[in-house]
Amino acid sequence: MMNQQELFDLSHEGAQIRAIASAVRDGALELSTSPRAIIVVAPDYLNRCVVRAGLALLPNAGVPVVCVPALPRYAGAMDVVIISADEAHEPQAYAAASTAHARGCVSILLSPFASYTAEETGVAGVPALPSVTQNSPARTIAALAAAVLGLRMDAAGVADTLDSIADEVDEELAACHPDRDSVVNPARSLAEYVQDSPVVHVAASDDSEEIATLIAVLFSRAGGVHTALSAQGHRLHDESSPSSAEDIFYDPFLDEPPTMLSSKVVVWALGSVADLVMPIEARCEYCENHSADTADALPLGDAHPADSESLAPGLRLIARAWAASCATA
Protein backbone atom coordinates (compact mmCIF):
# COMPACT_ATOMS: atom_id res chain seq x y z
CA MET A 1 0.00 0.00 0.00
CA MET A 2 1.30 3.41 -0.95
CA ASN A 3 2.25 5.91 1.72
CA GLN A 4 -0.25 8.71 1.12
CA GLN A 5 1.62 11.36 3.12
CA GLU A 6 4.82 10.57 1.23
CA LEU A 7 2.94 10.92 -2.05
CA PHE A 8 1.49 14.23 -0.90
CA ASP A 9 4.93 15.58 -0.02
CA LEU A 10 6.36 14.25 -3.29
CA SER A 11 3.65 15.92 -5.36
CA HIS A 12 4.88 19.32 -4.11
CA GLU A 13 8.46 18.96 -5.37
CA GLY A 14 7.87 21.27 -8.32
CA ALA A 15 6.20 23.80 -6.03
CA GLN A 16 9.15 23.56 -3.63
CA ILE A 17 11.50 24.65 -6.41
CA ARG A 18 9.17 27.49 -7.39
CA ALA A 19 9.09 28.65 -3.77
CA ILE A 20 12.88 29.06 -3.88
CA ALA A 21 12.62 30.76 -7.28
CA SER A 22 10.04 33.23 -5.94
CA ALA A 23 12.15 33.96 -2.88
CA VAL A 24 15.15 34.69 -5.10
CA ARG A 25 13.12 36.87 -7.46
CA ASP A 26 11.55 38.84 -4.59
CA GLY A 27 14.85 39.30 -2.79
CA ALA A 28 13.81 37.22 0.22
CA LEU A 29 16.91 35.08 -0.32
CA GLU A 30 20.08 37.10 -0.49
CA LEU A 31 22.55 35.91 -3.14
CA SER A 32 26.22 36.60 -2.49
CA THR A 33 28.39 37.10 -5.57
CA SER A 34 31.77 36.68 -3.88
CA PRO A 35 31.63 34.54 -0.73
CA ARG A 36 34.69 33.00 0.85
CA ALA A 37 32.89 29.65 1.02
CA ILE A 38 29.43 28.07 0.87
CA ILE A 39 28.73 26.02 3.99
CA VAL A 40 25.76 23.65 4.01
CA VAL A 41 24.68 22.46 7.46
CA ALA A 42 22.71 19.20 7.29
CA PRO A 43 22.35 17.48 10.68
CA ASP A 44 20.92 14.20 9.33
CA TYR A 45 22.37 11.70 6.86
CA LEU A 46 19.53 11.93 4.32
CA ASN A 47 19.92 15.68 3.93
CA ARG A 48 23.69 15.32 3.58
CA CYS A 49 23.10 12.83 0.77
CA VAL A 50 20.72 15.33 -0.85
CA VAL A 51 23.33 18.09 -0.63
CA ARG A 52 26.07 15.91 -2.11
CA ALA A 53 23.76 14.90 -4.95
CA GLY A 54 22.96 18.55 -5.61
CA LEU A 55 26.64 19.47 -5.72
CA ALA A 56 27.25 16.67 -8.22
CA LEU A 57 24.52 18.12 -10.47
CA LEU A 58 25.81 21.69 -10.33
CA PRO A 59 28.79 23.27 -12.10
CA ASN A 60 31.95 24.10 -10.21
CA ALA A 61 31.14 26.97 -7.87
CA GLY A 62 34.65 28.40 -7.98
CA VAL A 63 34.65 28.69 -4.18
CA PRO A 64 34.91 25.98 -1.52
CA VAL A 65 31.59 24.23 -0.84
CA VAL A 66 31.37 22.01 2.23
CA CYS A 67 28.58 19.90 3.74
CA VAL A 68 28.79 19.42 7.50
CA PRO A 69 26.47 18.13 10.27
CA ALA A 70 27.02 21.23 12.44
CA LEU A 71 28.13 24.81 11.85
CA PRO A 72 31.95 24.87 11.90
CA ARG A 73 33.85 27.30 14.11
CA TYR A 74 35.50 28.97 11.11
CA ALA A 75 32.19 30.16 9.60
CA GLY A 76 32.17 33.94 9.43
CA ALA A 77 30.77 37.05 7.82
CA MET A 78 32.30 36.27 4.41
CA ASP A 79 30.55 32.90 4.11
CA VAL A 80 27.16 31.77 2.83
CA VAL A 81 25.46 29.29 5.17
CA ILE A 82 22.58 27.06 4.06
CA ILE A 83 20.87 25.11 6.84
CA SER A 84 18.73 22.13 5.80
CA ALA A 85 17.03 20.02 8.46
CA ASP A 86 13.92 17.95 9.03
CA GLU A 87 11.50 18.24 11.94
CA ALA A 88 13.50 15.88 14.15
CA HIS A 89 16.59 18.08 13.86
CA GLU A 90 14.90 21.46 14.33
CA PRO A 91 16.88 22.25 17.53
CA GLN A 92 20.17 21.80 15.66
CA ALA A 93 18.87 23.96 12.82
CA TYR A 94 17.81 26.68 15.25
CA ALA A 95 21.22 26.66 16.96
CA ALA A 96 23.07 26.80 13.64
CA ALA A 97 20.84 29.62 12.34
CA SER A 98 21.28 31.69 15.50
CA THR A 99 25.05 31.29 15.49
CA ALA A 100 25.37 31.99 11.77
CA HIS A 101 23.30 35.17 12.09
CA ALA A 102 25.35 36.32 15.08
CA ARG A 103 28.54 35.89 13.06
CA GLY A 104 27.17 37.93 10.16
CA CYS A 105 26.90 35.06 7.67
CA VAL A 106 24.57 35.29 4.68
CA SER A 107 22.20 32.52 5.81
CA ILE A 108 19.36 30.50 4.29
CA LEU A 109 17.22 28.27 6.50
CA LEU A 110 15.27 25.31 5.09
CA SER A 111 13.16 23.35 7.57
CA PRO A 112 9.49 22.56 8.26
CA PHE A 113 9.48 25.40 10.83
CA ALA A 114 11.62 27.79 8.80
CA SER A 115 9.15 30.67 9.03
CA TYR A 116 9.11 30.57 12.86
CA THR A 117 12.80 29.88 13.33
CA ALA A 118 13.76 32.55 10.80
CA GLU A 119 11.64 35.12 12.64
CA GLU A 120 13.39 34.36 15.93
CA THR A 121 16.93 34.08 14.57
CA GLY A 122 16.79 36.79 11.91
CA VAL A 123 18.02 34.57 9.06
CA ALA A 124 16.31 34.29 5.68
CA GLY A 125 13.84 31.41 5.66
CA VAL A 126 11.47 30.15 2.98
CA PRO A 127 8.05 29.41 4.55
CA ALA A 128 7.13 25.73 4.50
CA LEU A 129 4.39 24.70 2.07
CA PRO A 130 1.04 23.95 3.76
CA SER A 131 0.62 20.39 5.08
CA VAL A 132 4.03 19.22 3.81
CA THR A 133 5.53 17.31 6.71
CA GLN A 134 9.17 16.80 5.75
CA ASN A 135 12.06 18.63 4.19
CA SER A 136 12.18 18.34 0.42
CA PRO A 137 15.17 17.13 -1.64
CA ALA A 138 14.17 19.45 -4.48
CA ARG A 139 13.88 22.39 -2.09
CA THR A 140 17.36 21.81 -0.66
CA ILE A 141 18.96 21.33 -4.08
CA ALA A 142 17.15 24.40 -5.45
CA ALA A 143 18.48 26.55 -2.59
CA LEU A 144 21.97 25.21 -3.18
CA ALA A 145 21.58 25.88 -6.91
CA ALA A 146 20.51 29.45 -6.18
CA ALA A 147 23.64 30.02 -4.11
CA VAL A 148 25.95 28.48 -6.75
CA LEU A 149 24.30 29.92 -9.86
CA GLY A 150 23.97 33.29 -8.14
CA LEU A 151 27.76 33.60 -8.23
CA ARG A 152 27.59 34.19 -12.00
CA MET A 153 23.97 35.11 -12.74
CA ASP A 154 21.61 37.82 -11.59
CA ALA A 155 18.60 37.02 -9.42
CA ALA A 156 16.15 37.10 -12.34
CA GLY A 157 18.25 34.60 -14.31
CA VAL A 158 18.51 32.24 -11.34
CA ALA A 159 14.75 32.42 -10.72
CA ASP A 160 13.92 31.78 -14.39
CA THR A 161 16.26 28.78 -14.43
CA LEU A 162 14.64 27.29 -11.34
CA ASP A 163 11.16 27.85 -12.78
CA SER A 164 12.15 25.94 -15.93
CA ILE A 165 13.51 23.09 -13.84
CA ALA A 166 10.31 23.02 -11.77
CA ASP A 167 8.31 22.53 -14.98
CA GLU A 168 10.41 19.47 -15.82
CA VAL A 169 10.00 18.02 -12.33
CA ASP A 170 6.22 18.49 -12.56
CA GLU A 171 6.28 16.70 -15.91
CA GLU A 172 8.07 13.76 -14.30
CA LEU A 173 5.61 13.71 -11.39
CA ALA A 174 2.69 13.67 -13.82
CA ALA A 175 4.21 10.66 -15.58
CA CYS A 176 4.65 8.95 -12.20
CA HIS A 177 1.08 9.53 -11.00
CA PRO A 178 -0.08 6.50 -8.97
CA ASP A 179 -3.21 6.11 -11.12
CA ARG A 180 -1.12 5.45 -14.25
CA ASP A 181 -0.40 1.88 -15.30
CA SER A 182 3.15 0.56 -15.09
CA VAL A 183 3.34 0.46 -18.90
CA VAL A 184 3.33 4.27 -18.97
CA ASN A 185 4.46 4.94 -15.39
CA PRO A 186 8.24 4.73 -14.92
CA ALA A 187 7.99 4.86 -11.13
CA ARG A 188 5.44 2.03 -10.88
CA SER A 189 7.44 -0.06 -13.34
CA LEU A 190 10.58 0.47 -11.25
CA ALA A 191 8.73 -0.35 -8.03
CA GLU A 192 7.52 -3.65 -9.49
CA TYR A 193 11.06 -4.48 -10.57
CA VAL A 194 12.67 -3.92 -7.16
CA GLN A 195 9.81 -5.31 -5.06
CA ASP A 196 10.81 -8.03 -2.56
CA SER A 197 14.42 -8.23 -3.67
CA PRO A 198 17.76 -6.78 -2.53
CA VAL A 199 18.78 -4.07 -4.99
CA VAL A 200 22.13 -2.61 -5.96
CA HIS A 201 21.87 0.91 -7.39
CA VAL A 202 24.82 1.49 -9.71
CA ALA A 203 26.01 4.83 -11.06
CA ALA A 204 26.42 4.79 -14.84
CA SER A 205 29.30 7.25 -14.55
CA ASP A 206 31.21 9.27 -12.00
CA ASP A 207 28.69 12.11 -12.43
CA SER A 208 25.80 10.03 -11.10
CA GLU A 209 27.48 8.38 -8.09
CA GLU A 210 25.94 10.72 -5.52
CA ILE A 211 22.53 10.39 -7.21
CA ALA A 212 22.72 6.60 -6.89
CA THR A 213 23.66 6.92 -3.21
CA LEU A 214 20.74 9.25 -2.48
CA ILE A 215 18.31 6.99 -4.34
CA ALA A 216 19.49 3.96 -2.36
CA VAL A 217 18.83 5.90 0.86
CA LEU A 218 15.33 6.89 -0.31
CA PHE A 219 14.46 3.26 -1.05
CA SER A 220 16.03 2.04 2.22
CA ARG A 221 13.89 4.52 4.14
CA ALA A 222 10.79 2.91 2.63
CA GLY A 223 11.99 -0.60 3.51
CA GLY A 224 14.00 -3.34 1.88
CA VAL A 225 17.69 -3.86 1.28
CA HIS A 226 19.21 -1.24 -1.02
CA THR A 227 22.81 -0.25 -1.51
CA ALA A 228 24.73 1.95 -3.94
CA LEU A 229 27.83 1.22 -5.96
CA SER A 230 30.00 3.51 -8.04
CA ALA A 231 30.61 2.87 -11.71
CA GLN A 232 34.23 1.95 -10.99
CA GLY A 233 33.23 -0.23 -8.07
CA HIS A 234 30.80 -2.16 -10.24
CA ARG A 235 33.46 -2.77 -12.88
CA LEU A 236 35.90 -4.01 -10.25
CA HIS A 237 33.23 -6.26 -8.80
CA ASP A 238 32.51 -7.78 -12.21
CA GLU A 239 36.20 -8.36 -12.85
CA SER A 240 36.72 -10.06 -9.50
CA SER A 241 33.66 -12.32 -9.70
CA PRO A 242 34.51 -15.73 -11.13
CA SER A 243 32.17 -17.17 -13.72
CA SER A 244 31.56 -20.77 -14.71
CA ALA A 245 33.13 -20.07 -18.09
CA GLU A 246 36.44 -19.29 -16.37
CA ASP A 247 36.40 -22.52 -14.33
CA ILE A 248 38.23 -25.15 -16.38
CA PHE A 249 36.81 -27.89 -14.14
CA TYR A 250 33.17 -26.86 -14.61
CA ASP A 251 31.06 -29.49 -16.42
CA PRO A 252 27.59 -28.23 -17.36
CA PHE A 253 26.29 -31.83 -17.59
CA LEU A 254 27.58 -33.07 -14.23
CA ASP A 255 27.89 -30.00 -12.03
CA GLU A 256 25.13 -28.00 -10.42
CA PRO A 257 24.35 -24.63 -12.05
CA PRO A 258 26.40 -21.79 -10.58
CA THR A 259 24.75 -20.05 -7.66
CA MET A 260 23.18 -16.78 -8.74
CA LEU A 261 22.71 -13.84 -6.44
CA SER A 262 19.09 -12.89 -5.94
CA SER A 263 19.83 -9.17 -5.91
CA LYS A 264 18.78 -6.94 -8.78
CA VAL A 265 20.77 -4.15 -10.38
CA VAL A 266 19.45 -0.71 -11.34
CA VAL A 267 21.79 1.57 -13.29
CA TRP A 268 21.18 5.33 -12.96
CA ALA A 269 22.33 7.53 -15.82
CA LEU A 270 22.23 11.24 -16.57
CA GLY A 271 21.80 11.98 -20.26
CA SER A 272 21.99 9.61 -23.21
CA VAL A 273 22.58 5.89 -22.66
CA ALA A 274 23.39 5.08 -26.29
CA ASP A 275 27.02 4.29 -25.44
CA LEU A 276 26.33 2.72 -22.05
CA VAL A 277 27.48 -0.89 -21.59
CA MET A 278 25.54 -2.75 -18.88
CA PRO A 279 24.98 -6.29 -17.70
CA ILE A 280 22.06 -7.89 -19.51
CA GLU A 281 20.16 -8.48 -16.27
CA ALA A 282 20.38 -4.84 -15.17
CA ARG A 283 17.64 -2.25 -15.50
CA CYS A 284 18.60 1.26 -16.61
CA GLU A 285 16.87 4.41 -15.39
CA TYR A 286 17.87 7.53 -17.25
CA CYS A 287 16.62 10.98 -18.13
CA GLU A 288 17.80 13.37 -20.80
CA ASN A 289 17.46 17.13 -20.65
CA HIS A 290 14.86 17.87 -23.29
CA SER A 291 13.97 21.39 -22.15
CA ALA A 292 15.60 24.01 -24.34
CA ASP A 293 14.73 26.67 -21.78
CA THR A 294 16.67 24.86 -19.07
CA ALA A 295 19.61 23.94 -21.26
CA ASP A 296 20.05 27.46 -22.57
CA ALA A 297 19.45 29.28 -19.27
CA LEU A 298 22.80 28.55 -17.68
CA PRO A 299 25.49 30.91 -19.00
CA LEU A 300 28.13 29.79 -16.54
CA GLY A 301 31.32 31.07 -18.10
CA ASP A 302 33.85 28.30 -18.51
CA ALA A 303 31.72 25.69 -16.75
CA HIS A 304 31.37 22.43 -18.62
CA PRO A 305 28.05 22.31 -20.55
CA ALA A 306 27.31 18.78 -19.38
CA ASP A 307 27.57 19.92 -15.76
CA SER A 308 25.18 22.80 -16.43
CA GLU A 309 22.55 20.56 -18.00
CA SER A 310 22.48 17.85 -15.32
CA LEU A 311 20.30 19.65 -12.78
CA ALA A 312 16.87 19.05 -14.32
CA PRO A 313 17.49 15.38 -15.32
CA GLY A 314 18.97 14.68 -11.90
CA LEU A 315 15.99 16.13 -10.06
CA ARG A 316 13.66 14.14 -12.32
CA LEU A 317 15.45 10.90 -11.47
CA ILE A 318 15.28 11.70 -7.75
CA ALA A 319 11.53 12.37 -8.03
CA ARG A 320 11.04 9.12 -9.97
CA ALA A 321 12.95 7.13 -7.38
CA TRP A 322 11.02 8.73 -4.52
CA ALA A 323 7.72 7.90 -6.26
CA ALA A 324 8.86 4.30 -6.75
CA SER A 325 9.88 4.03 -3.09
CA CYS A 326 6.39 5.19 -2.08
CA ALA A 327 4.92 2.31 -4.10
CA THR A 328 7.18 -0.23 -2.38
CA ALA A 329 6.53 0.99 1.17
Residue 241 to residue 252: CA distance in whole angstroms: 19
Residue 322 has pLDDT above 60, yes or no: yes
pLDDT at position 258: 66
Share of the chain above pLDDT 70, in %: 83
User: Can you tell me whether residue 107 is helix, strand or coil?
Assistant: strand
Task: For residue 207, give Cα distances in angstroms to 12, 59, 163.
Answer: 26, 11, 24
Per-residue pLDDT band for 294 (boundaries 50, 70, 90) equals: very low
Looking at residue 300, its pLDDT comes to: 37
For residue 161, give Cα distances in angstroms to 51, 235, 285, 293: 19, 36, 24, 8
Determine contact, residues 282/267, Cβ cutoff 8 Å: yes
Asked whether the predicted pLDDT for residue 164 surpasses 60, the reply is: yes
Q: How crowded is residue 133: how many other Cβ atoms within 10 Å of its Cβ?
A: 12
Cβ-contact 225, 329 below 8 angstroms: no
Residue 49: what pLDDT? 97
SS3 per residue for 195-212: CCCCEEEEECCHHHHHHH
The number of CA neighbours under 13 Å toward the Cβ of 70 is 4
* Neighbouring-strand partners of residue 229: 202
CA distance 234 to 214: 17
pLDDT tens digits along 99-155: 999 999 988 888 877 666 667 777 777 777 888 888 899 999 999 999 999 998 899
Contacts 24+ apart (CB under 8 A), 108-111: 108/29, 108/80, 108/81, 108/82, 108/83, 108/143, 108/147, 109/83, 110/82, 110/83, 110/84, 110/85, 110/135, 110/139, 110/140, 110/143, 111/83, 111/84, 111/85, 111/86, 111/87, 111/135
Compute how many other C-beta atoms are within 10 angstroms of the C-beta atom of residue 129.
Answer: 15
Out of 79-83, 117-121, 277-281, the most confident range is: 79-83
Q: Is the pLDDT of residue 41 over 80?
A: yes
Q: Would strands 124-125 and 106-110 be described as parallel, antiparallel, or unpaired?
A: parallel
More confident of the two residues 29 and 15: 15
Confidence of residue 291 (pLDDT cuts 50, 70, 90): very low
